[in-house]
Structure 1
Protein backbone atom coordinates (compact mmCIF):
# COMPACT_ATOMS: atom_id res chain seq x y z
CA UNK A 1 0.00 0.00 0.00
CA UNK A 2 1.22 3.51 -0.78
CA UNK A 3 2.72 5.62 1.99
CA UNK A 4 0.82 8.62 0.62
CA UNK A 5 -2.31 10.00 2.16
CA UNK A 6 -5.13 7.70 1.05
CA UNK A 7 -7.73 10.25 0.06
CA UNK A 8 -7.16 13.96 0.59
CA UNK A 9 -10.31 15.77 1.56
CA UNK A 10 -10.53 19.16 -0.12
CA UNK A 11 -12.19 21.65 2.21
CA UNK A 12 -11.05 25.06 0.95
CA UNK A 13 -12.31 27.06 -2.00
CA UNK A 14 -8.86 27.81 -3.45
CA UNK A 15 -7.90 24.15 -3.78
CA UNK A 16 -11.33 23.27 -5.17
CA UNK A 17 -11.03 25.98 -7.83
CA UNK A 18 -7.48 24.88 -8.67
CA UNK A 19 -8.67 21.35 -9.37
CA UNK A 20 -11.97 22.33 -11.00
CA UNK A 21 -10.34 23.47 -14.21
CA UNK A 22 -10.96 21.24 -17.24
CA UNK A 23 -7.30 20.82 -18.22
CA UNK A 24 -6.01 20.57 -14.65
CA UNK A 25 -8.50 17.82 -13.83
CA UNK A 26 -7.41 15.88 -16.93
CA UNK A 27 -3.76 16.29 -15.92
CA UNK A 28 -4.51 15.21 -12.35
CA UNK A 29 -6.38 12.14 -13.60
CA UNK A 30 -3.51 11.37 -15.98
CA UNK A 31 -1.06 11.47 -13.05
CA UNK A 32 -3.29 9.20 -10.97
CA UNK A 33 -3.24 6.64 -13.77
CA UNK A 34 0.46 6.95 -14.63
CA UNK A 35 1.51 7.42 -10.98
CA UNK A 36 4.33 9.69 -12.25
CA UNK A 37 4.90 11.62 -15.49
CA UNK A 38 6.63 14.62 -17.01
CA UNK A 39 4.92 17.65 -18.49
CA UNK A 40 5.99 16.44 -21.94
CA UNK A 41 4.36 13.05 -21.43
CA UNK A 42 1.15 14.61 -20.14
CA UNK A 43 1.11 17.24 -22.92
CA UNK A 44 1.13 14.42 -25.45
CA UNK A 45 -1.82 12.74 -23.70
CA UNK A 46 -3.96 15.89 -23.58
CA UNK A 47 -2.75 17.34 -26.91
CA UNK A 48 -1.64 20.67 -25.44
CA UNK A 49 1.61 22.66 -25.48
CA UNK A 50 4.21 21.57 -22.94
CA UNK A 51 4.51 25.15 -21.62
CA UNK A 52 0.76 25.29 -20.92
CA UNK A 53 0.80 21.88 -19.23
CA UNK A 54 3.82 22.91 -17.13
CA UNK A 55 1.96 26.02 -15.96
CA UNK A 56 -1.08 24.02 -14.89
CA UNK A 57 1.05 21.39 -13.16
CA UNK A 58 2.72 24.14 -11.13
CA UNK A 59 -0.74 25.45 -10.16
CA UNK A 60 -1.77 21.99 -8.97
CA UNK A 61 1.48 21.78 -6.99
CA UNK A 62 0.86 25.19 -5.38
CA UNK A 63 -2.25 23.73 -3.77
CA UNK A 64 -0.55 20.50 -2.74
CA UNK A 65 -2.50 18.31 -5.14
CA UNK A 66 0.65 17.06 -6.88
CA UNK A 67 4.34 17.11 -6.01
CA UNK A 68 7.69 16.57 -7.63
CA UNK A 69 8.61 12.92 -8.01
CA UNK A 70 11.92 11.13 -8.14
CA UNK A 71 13.33 11.26 -11.68
CA UNK A 72 12.51 8.17 -13.73
CA UNK A 73 15.14 8.82 -16.40
CA UNK A 74 18.76 9.94 -16.71
CA UNK A 75 17.74 13.28 -18.26
CA UNK A 76 18.18 15.71 -15.37
CA UNK A 77 16.28 18.43 -17.26
CA UNK A 78 13.03 16.46 -16.99
CA UNK A 79 10.83 17.35 -14.05
CA UNK A 80 8.70 14.45 -12.87
CA UNK A 81 5.37 14.90 -11.08
CA UNK A 82 3.15 12.58 -9.05
CA UNK A 83 -0.13 12.94 -7.13
CA UNK A 84 0.39 14.05 -3.52
CA UNK A 85 -2.28 11.58 -2.38
CA UNK A 86 -3.99 8.48 -3.73
CA UNK A 87 -7.05 10.57 -4.61
CA UNK A 88 -9.25 13.39 -3.41
CA UNK A 89 -12.71 13.68 -1.94
CA UNK A 90 -14.96 16.72 -2.00
CA UNK A 91 -17.96 16.79 0.33
CA UNK A 92 -20.97 19.07 0.13
CA UNK A 93 -20.83 19.83 3.85
CA UNK A 94 -17.50 21.64 3.42
CA UNK A 95 -18.90 24.11 0.87
CA UNK A 96 -22.47 24.90 1.87
CA UNK A 97 -21.84 27.70 4.38
CA UNK A 98 -21.59 30.48 1.75
CA UNK A 99 -23.29 30.99 -1.63
CA UNK A 100 -19.96 31.40 -3.48
CA UNK A 101 -18.63 28.16 -2.00
CA UNK A 102 -21.82 26.27 -2.81
CA UNK A 103 -21.80 27.58 -6.38
CA UNK A 104 -18.13 26.59 -6.83
CA UNK A 105 -18.84 23.11 -5.48
CA UNK A 106 -21.76 22.68 -7.87
CA UNK A 107 -19.68 23.91 -10.83
CA UNK A 108 -16.83 21.55 -9.91
CA UNK A 109 -19.22 18.61 -9.52
CA UNK A 110 -20.71 19.32 -12.95
CA UNK A 111 -17.23 19.46 -14.53
CA UNK A 112 -16.19 16.16 -12.93
CA UNK A 113 -19.41 14.53 -14.09
CA UNK A 114 -19.01 15.82 -17.66
CA UNK A 115 -15.45 14.51 -17.84
CA UNK A 116 -16.53 11.12 -16.49
CA UNK A 117 -19.40 11.00 -18.98
CA UNK A 118 -16.94 11.82 -21.78
CA UNK A 119 -14.73 8.93 -20.69
CA UNK A 120 -17.71 6.57 -20.97
CA UNK A 121 -18.78 8.02 -24.33
CA UNK A 122 -15.23 7.39 -25.61
CA UNK A 123 -15.44 3.79 -24.47
CA UNK A 124 -18.79 3.36 -26.24
CA UNK A 125 -17.36 4.87 -29.43
CA UNK A 126 -14.35 2.55 -29.26
CA UNK A 127 -16.19 -0.52 -27.95
CA UNK A 128 -15.60 -2.59 -31.10
CA UNK A 129 -11.83 -2.17 -30.69
CA UNK A 130 -11.76 -3.58 -27.15
CA UNK A 131 -12.70 -7.11 -28.11
CA UNK A 132 -15.20 -9.54 -26.63
CA UNK A 133 -13.40 -10.10 -23.30
CA UNK A 134 -13.49 -6.42 -22.32
CA UNK A 135 -16.98 -5.89 -23.71
CA UNK A 136 -18.29 -8.85 -21.72
CA UNK A 137 -16.63 -7.46 -18.57
CA UNK A 138 -17.57 -3.78 -18.96
CA UNK A 139 -20.59 -2.83 -16.86
CA UNK A 140 -23.27 -0.18 -17.00
CA UNK A 141 -26.13 -0.46 -14.57
CA UNK A 142 -28.73 1.49 -12.74
CA UNK A 143 -30.24 0.27 -9.51
CA UNK A 144 -33.12 1.91 -7.65
CA UNK A 145 -32.97 1.53 -3.86
CA UNK A 146 -35.00 2.81 -0.94
CA UNK A 147 -32.56 3.99 1.73
CA UNK A 148 -32.17 6.40 4.60
CA UNK A 149 -29.28 8.91 4.54
CA UNK A 150 -27.44 6.74 7.08
CA UNK A 151 -27.89 3.61 4.95
CA UNK A 152 -26.62 5.45 1.87
CA UNK A 153 -23.53 6.53 3.82
CA UNK A 154 -22.95 2.93 4.98
CA UNK A 155 -23.28 1.68 1.40
CA UNK A 156 -20.79 4.31 0.23
CA UNK A 157 -18.27 3.20 2.86
CA UNK A 158 -18.66 -0.44 1.82
CA UNK A 159 -18.16 0.46 -1.85
CA UNK A 160 -15.05 2.52 -1.04
CA UNK A 161 -13.58 -0.41 0.92
CA UNK A 162 -14.28 -2.72 -2.02
CA UNK A 163 -12.65 -0.32 -4.51
CA UNK A 164 -9.59 0.08 -2.24
CA UNK A 165 -9.17 -3.70 -2.08
CA UNK A 166 -9.18 -4.00 -5.89
CA UNK A 167 -6.93 -0.94 -6.25
CA UNK A 168 -4.36 -2.50 -3.91
CA UNK A 169 -4.57 -5.81 -5.76
CA UNK A 170 -3.89 -4.11 -9.10
CA UNK A 171 -1.05 -2.03 -7.68
CA UNK A 172 0.59 -5.10 -6.16
CA UNK A 173 0.31 -6.96 -9.47
CA UNK A 174 1.88 -4.02 -11.32
CA UNK A 175 4.73 -3.83 -8.82
CA UNK A 176 5.32 -7.57 -9.25
CA UNK A 177 5.47 -7.09 -13.04
CA UNK A 178 2.20 -8.94 -13.63
CA UNK A 179 0.84 -6.49 -16.21
CA UNK A 180 -0.22 -8.95 -18.92
CA UNK A 181 -3.84 -8.28 -19.88
CA UNK A 182 -4.22 -5.36 -17.46
CA UNK A 183 -5.76 -2.08 -18.60
CA UNK A 184 -6.81 1.07 -16.78
CA UNK A 185 -10.42 0.69 -15.65
CA UNK A 186 -12.64 3.60 -14.59
CA UNK A 187 -15.40 2.88 -12.08
CA UNK A 188 -17.92 5.68 -11.70
CA UNK A 189 -20.68 5.36 -9.14
CA UNK A 190 -23.32 7.95 -8.36
CA UNK A 191 -25.74 7.64 -5.47
CA UNK A 192 -28.24 10.41 -4.87
CA UNK A 193 -31.85 10.89 -3.79
CA UNK A 194 -34.59 11.62 -6.31
CA UNK A 195 -38.35 11.91 -6.51
CA UNK A 196 -40.64 11.04 -9.41
Structure 2
Protein backbone atom coordinates (compact mmCIF):
# COMPACT_ATOMS: atom_id res chain seq x y z
CA UNK A 1 0.00 0.00 0.00
CA UNK A 2 1.43 3.36 -0.99
CA UNK A 3 1.92 6.00 1.70
CA UNK A 4 -1.01 8.30 2.28
CA UNK A 5 -0.50 12.01 2.70
CA UNK A 6 -3.05 13.43 5.14
CA UNK A 7 -3.47 17.19 5.04
CA UNK A 8 -6.43 17.25 7.44
CA UNK A 9 -5.93 15.63 10.86
CA UNK A 10 -9.45 16.27 12.21
CA UNK A 11 -11.52 13.26 13.32
CA UNK A 12 -13.69 11.65 10.65
CA UNK A 13 -17.35 11.02 11.43
CA UNK A 14 -18.91 8.40 9.14
CA UNK A 15 -22.66 7.88 9.15
CA UNK A 16 -25.30 6.07 7.12
CA UNK A 17 -27.98 3.43 7.47
CA UNK A 18 -27.29 0.05 9.07
CA UNK A 19 -26.07 -2.41 6.43
CA UNK A 20 -24.76 0.22 4.00
CA UNK A 21 -21.12 -0.83 4.41
CA UNK A 22 -19.74 1.81 6.81
CA UNK A 23 -17.96 -0.78 8.93
CA UNK A 24 -16.43 -2.46 5.90
CA UNK A 25 -15.14 0.84 4.52
CA UNK A 26 -13.73 1.91 7.90
CA UNK A 27 -12.06 -1.45 8.54
CA UNK A 28 -10.48 -1.38 5.09
CA UNK A 29 -9.15 2.16 5.68
CA UNK A 30 -7.74 1.30 9.11
CA UNK A 31 -6.23 -2.00 7.91
CA UNK A 32 -4.56 -0.18 4.99
CA UNK A 33 -3.30 2.75 7.08
CA UNK A 34 -2.98 1.59 10.73
CA UNK A 35 -0.38 4.28 11.48
CA UNK A 36 -2.77 7.06 10.44
CA UNK A 37 -6.36 6.09 11.34
CA UNK A 38 -8.00 4.31 14.29
CA UNK A 39 -11.55 3.44 15.29
CA UNK A 40 -13.01 5.08 18.34
CA UNK A 41 -14.37 2.34 20.58
CA UNK A 42 -17.87 3.17 21.79
CA UNK A 43 -19.31 2.50 25.23
CA UNK A 44 -22.49 0.42 25.45
CA UNK A 45 -24.81 -0.96 28.09
CA UNK A 46 -25.71 -4.03 26.06
CA UNK A 47 -24.15 -7.40 26.76
CA UNK A 48 -21.11 -8.90 25.11
CA UNK A 49 -21.95 -10.95 21.99
CA UNK A 50 -20.01 -14.04 20.85
CA UNK A 51 -16.76 -13.00 19.18
CA UNK A 52 -16.71 -9.52 20.69
CA UNK A 53 -13.78 -8.33 22.78
CA UNK A 54 -13.94 -5.81 25.64
CA UNK A 55 -12.11 -2.61 24.67
CA UNK A 56 -11.95 -3.62 21.00
CA UNK A 57 -15.59 -4.11 19.97
CA UNK A 58 -17.01 -1.86 22.69
CA UNK A 59 -16.44 -0.84 26.27
CA UNK A 60 -19.21 -2.79 27.98
CA UNK A 61 -20.45 -0.82 30.98
CA UNK A 62 -23.37 -0.88 33.40
CA UNK A 63 -26.26 1.56 32.90
CA UNK A 64 -25.17 3.46 36.03
CA UNK A 65 -21.58 3.82 34.76
CA UNK A 66 -22.92 5.04 31.43
CA UNK A 67 -25.19 7.61 33.11
CA UNK A 68 -22.28 8.77 35.24
CA UNK A 69 -20.29 9.55 32.06
CA UNK A 70 -23.33 11.35 30.59
CA UNK A 71 -23.66 13.53 33.71
CA UNK A 72 -19.93 14.39 33.53
CA UNK A 73 -20.28 15.39 29.82
CA UNK A 74 -17.92 12.53 29.00
CA UNK A 75 -19.43 11.76 25.59
CA UNK A 76 -19.26 13.67 22.31
CA UNK A 77 -22.49 11.86 21.42
CA UNK A 78 -24.70 9.19 22.90
CA UNK A 79 -27.95 7.49 21.97
CA UNK A 80 -30.34 4.70 22.81
CA UNK A 81 -30.79 1.95 20.23
CA UNK A 82 -32.90 -1.18 20.79
CA UNK A 83 -33.09 -0.39 24.50
CA UNK A 84 -29.34 -0.05 25.03
CA UNK A 85 -27.14 3.03 25.44
CA UNK A 86 -24.25 3.73 23.06
CA UNK A 87 -21.80 6.60 23.23
CA UNK A 88 -18.43 7.88 22.00
CA UNK A 89 -16.26 9.18 24.82
CA UNK A 90 -14.23 12.38 24.61
CA UNK A 91 -11.39 10.52 26.34
CA UNK A 92 -11.18 7.90 23.59
CA UNK A 93 -10.85 10.62 20.93
CA UNK A 94 -8.21 12.45 23.01
CA UNK A 95 -6.22 9.25 23.54
CA UNK A 96 -6.12 8.47 19.81
CA UNK A 97 -5.18 12.05 18.89
CA UNK A 98 -2.40 12.03 21.51
CA UNK A 99 -1.00 8.90 19.81
CA UNK A 100 -0.88 10.81 16.51
CA UNK A 101 -3.84 8.95 15.01
CA UNK A 102 -6.90 10.34 13.23
CA UNK A 103 -10.00 9.07 15.08
CA UNK A 104 -12.75 7.51 12.95
CA UNK A 105 -16.23 7.62 14.50
CA UNK A 106 -18.95 5.37 13.06
CA UNK A 107 -22.15 6.96 14.42
CA UNK A 108 -25.79 7.40 13.49
CA UNK A 109 -27.40 10.62 12.30
CA UNK A 110 -28.69 11.34 15.83
CA UNK A 111 -25.05 11.37 17.03
CA UNK A 112 -24.02 13.63 14.14
CA UNK A 113 -26.78 16.07 15.14
CA UNK A 114 -25.52 16.08 18.76
CA UNK A 115 -21.94 16.83 17.75
CA UNK A 116 -23.01 19.55 15.30
CA UNK A 117 -25.36 21.21 17.81
CA UNK A 118 -22.74 21.27 20.56
CA UNK A 119 -19.43 21.02 18.73
CA UNK A 120 -17.04 19.53 21.26
CA UNK A 121 -14.85 18.24 18.44
CA UNK A 122 -13.92 19.80 15.12
CA UNK A 123 -14.68 16.95 12.72
CA UNK A 124 -15.27 16.07 9.08
CA UNK A 125 -18.51 14.35 8.15
CA UNK A 126 -19.16 11.72 5.46
CA UNK A 127 -22.42 9.90 4.75
CA UNK A 128 -22.49 6.47 3.09
CA UNK A 129 -25.63 5.99 1.03
CA UNK A 130 -26.99 2.76 -0.48
CA UNK A 131 -27.72 2.73 -4.22
CA UNK A 132 -31.40 2.20 -3.28
CA UNK A 133 -33.57 1.11 -0.35
CA UNK A 134 -34.13 -2.19 -2.14
CA UNK A 135 -30.38 -2.82 -2.28
CA UNK A 136 -30.10 -1.95 1.41
CA UNK A 137 -32.91 -4.36 2.31
CA UNK A 138 -31.17 -7.09 0.30
CA UNK A 139 -27.90 -6.49 2.22
CA UNK A 140 -29.69 -6.55 5.60
CA UNK A 141 -31.47 -9.80 4.74
CA UNK A 142 -28.26 -11.27 3.31
CA UNK A 143 -26.49 -10.88 6.65
CA UNK A 144 -28.94 -13.36 8.16
CA UNK A 145 -28.36 -11.98 11.64
CA UNK A 146 -31.70 -10.35 12.39
CA UNK A 147 -35.39 -11.15 12.62
CA UNK A 148 -37.98 -9.56 10.35
CA UNK A 149 -39.05 -7.01 12.97
CA UNK A 150 -35.46 -5.78 13.39
CA UNK A 151 -34.99 -5.53 9.61
CA UNK A 152 -38.16 -3.46 9.30
CA UNK A 153 -36.99 -1.15 12.12
CA UNK A 154 -33.62 -0.68 10.40
CA UNK A 155 -35.30 0.11 7.07
CA UNK A 156 -37.62 2.66 8.71
CA UNK A 157 -34.59 4.27 10.38
CA UNK A 158 -32.74 4.24 7.03
CA UNK A 159 -35.55 6.29 5.47
CA UNK A 160 -35.10 8.95 8.16
CA UNK A 161 -31.30 8.94 7.90
CA UNK A 162 -31.31 9.20 4.10
CA UNK A 163 -33.17 12.53 4.36
CA UNK A 164 -30.12 14.03 6.11
CA UNK A 165 -27.87 13.10 3.19
CA UNK A 166 -29.87 15.55 1.07
CA UNK A 167 -29.54 18.53 3.44
CA UNK A 168 -26.96 20.87 1.86
CA UNK A 169 -23.86 21.18 4.06
CA UNK A 170 -24.97 18.68 6.72
CA UNK A 171 -22.28 16.26 5.50
CA UNK A 172 -19.02 17.28 3.87
CA UNK A 173 -19.36 14.40 1.41
CA UNK A 174 -21.97 11.80 0.44
CA UNK A 175 -20.67 8.54 -1.07
CA UNK A 176 -23.02 6.06 -2.75
CA UNK A 177 -21.81 2.53 -1.99
CA UNK A 178 -22.94 0.68 -5.09
CA UNK A 179 -19.41 -0.60 -5.85
CA UNK A 180 -17.22 -1.24 -2.80
CA UNK A 181 -13.88 -0.50 -4.50
CA UNK A 182 -15.14 2.76 -5.99
CA UNK A 183 -16.75 3.81 -2.69
CA UNK A 184 -13.51 2.96 -0.85
CA UNK A 185 -11.44 5.02 -3.30
CA UNK A 186 -13.69 8.03 -2.65
CA UNK A 187 -13.55 7.42 1.11
CA UNK A 188 -9.72 7.37 1.08
CA UNK A 189 -9.70 10.63 -0.92
CA UNK A 190 -12.03 12.19 1.65
CA UNK A 191 -10.04 10.80 4.60
CA UNK A 192 -6.74 12.16 3.30
CA UNK A 193 -8.12 15.69 3.17
CA UNK A 194 -8.35 18.32 0.46
Question: TM-score w.r.t. structure 2 length?
Answer: 0.26
Q: Which has the higher helix share?
A: 1
Larger Rg: 1
Question: TM-score w.r.t. structure 1 length?
Answer: 0.25
Flag the structure with more relative contact order, 1 or 2, with Cα contacts below 8 A and sequence separation at least 6: 2
Q: Which has the higher strand share?
A: 2
